[in-house]
Amino acid sequence: MREGQREQAGGALWNRSRNAANDGPIHEAGGIPPLVKLARWGTEGQKGWAARALENLALNDVNKVAIGEAELAMSGTEGQDNAAGALLASQ
Confidence (pTM)? 0.78
Q: What's the angle, vertex CA 87, arms to CA 30 and CA 32, rounded to 5?
A: 15
Mean pLDDT by 10 residues, the chain (91 residues): 85 92 92 92 93 94 93 70 60 58
43's torsion region: left (phi>0), alpha (psi -120 to 50) or beta? beta
Measure the CA–CA gap between 17 and 14, rounded to whole angstroms. 5
Give how far Cα 57 sits from Cα of 2, 76, 77, Å: 25, 24, 25
